[in-house]
Structure 1
């Protein structure tokens, strides 16, 4: 008997573990494998429903008693840089952008290690070795790019971003930068430059990952105009981030079966 992979993706839930954003809370993720000829189509569809990609997996927070993590994206046509963001662009005018295929290099890994040791020494990625780093960059079943930012005066690598190209925008999967250049606000610069790339490519959105009200780690995302969040099954414009509070109520999330049933899947039938 011939066995084939199921056409419909299968969804699973991770075991609870400490939340990296809100102290005293536990996180849990709903996830599915990203594989086969329909990987790009599935990634496009689920990204619009709050999912994120990590290598060959698509995931979305599905905590049993909290709904604080909200997928965020910038609507490019509604974005206008603030005064401070204009200063960031001016401060980094010497950086040159280079887009390449998703291939890990020694220079990238060296910068990655410096970034983690300085910014996230206690985080979940702190022990990543060169092989795990290469897997993070290279194991992608969809259209992805590595965007490098180098100093035009010294050719030194200053920042890197792994970026997915969706049918409606750019998704910043993971970025890191030189921790010695904190004054340059390179994280902000990467987002601003991706907005420019999306605008040039006529793509309407830049996906930023998750925004968590009350988390200092995620506060910078709310500083971009044109921000939208995926809340209660739809994208909503975030006019006043300070007025939006995290929802940690035990009844704030639907049961897993109901969450899965409400996911809108693309047509993945074989040709």
Structure 2
């Protein structure tokens, strides 16, 4: 189905998928609304749609558009107000020996090899298993003016990669993968803390974390970074504790 919507940049086409099994909650059906994939969208349009709850996945901007469910709620961290918990402070200190560099968002064999290991060991029951170079490229190696990769290296060995977008209002954390054998380092948490630190360094007010889904265990971590702001009824609302 095709919809149109008028924004300051003009009328745009939005497409809606048919219903399919929900990836987050069992026994629910979901639909997705996404921007015309043939549109070469600008950063301004990306920013505006982000404020309406859209996310980027590869070349697509999308948001959930389910008939009877509104469980997917956009979450972001206000950088200046963020207060790391003691456990988060310990994780940050534990990884002080890791070097972080900002790299272009392109395909590199070493990145893909780490991604393939991560998917095989952590998400063998997920939609991206088995990994492929084509899927990886379409998802995480789209090079444009606003995307980048954070490379985390330990003793010159790549241990994690975080793909993030730089919007006008903040960084948008898209995906992180890491060495599954370094579980004790909590590299997923360290990635988010590092992006918060980078947003602060770049003078950006927010880190966007994607969708928080009440009742979905794998999404609960997104409200562990306090304070958290949730997009509810079109307005960003601060919460001080996990709902």
TM-score of the aligned structures, taking structure 1 as reference length: 0.83
What is aligned with 2:207? 206
Give the structure-2-normalised TM-score. 0.92
Question: 1: CA distance between counterparts of 2:60 and 2:143?
Answer: 9
Q: Distance in 2 between matches of 1:53 and 1:14?
A: 16
Question: Which residue of structure 2 aligns with residue 234 of structure 1?
Answer: 235
Aligned partners of 1:40 and 1:141 also within 8 Å: no
Higher relative contact order (CA 8 A, sep 6+): 1
- C-alpha distance in structure 1 between counterparts of 2:115 and 2:188, whole Å: 13
RMSD over aligned CA atoms reads 1.6
8 Å Cα contact 1:99/1:148 also seen in 2: yes
**2 CA distance for matches of 1:96 and 1:192?**
14
**Higher fraction of strand:** 2
Distance 1:138 1:195 in 2: 22
Could you tell me which residue of structure 1 aligns to residue 50 of structure 2? 47
What is the aligned partner in structure 2 of residue 173 from structure 1?
A: 174
Partner of 2:65: 62
Pick from 31, 35, 41 the counterpart of residue 28 of structure 1. Answer: 31
Q: Assess if the C-alpha contact under 8 Å between 1:88 and 1:189 holds in 2.
A: yes
Contact 1:56 1:140 in 2 (8 A): no
Q: How is 1:87-106 mapped onto 2 (pairs within 5 angstroms)? A: 87-106=90-109
Deviation at 1:140, TM superposition (A): 4.7
Q: 2:22 aligns with which of 13, 19, 23?
A: 19
User: What stretches of structure 2 of length at least 5 have no aligned partner?
Assistant: 1-8
Distance in 2, Cα, partners of 1:11 & 1:241: 33
Change (3 A) 1:101 1:140: closer
CA distance in 1, matches of 2:138, 2:23: 22
Q: State the alpha-carbon separation in 2 of the partners of residues 34 and 192 from structure 1.
A: 32
Q: Which residue of 2 aligns with 1:257?
A: none
Please list, as runs of the form range in 1=range in 2, the aligned pairs for 1:80-159 lying within 5 A after superposition: 80-151=83-154, 154-159=155-160
Equivalent residue, structure 2, for 1:217? 218
Structure 1: gaps of 5 or more residues: 1-5, 243-271
Which piece of structure 1 moves more, 101-110 or 7-16? 7-16
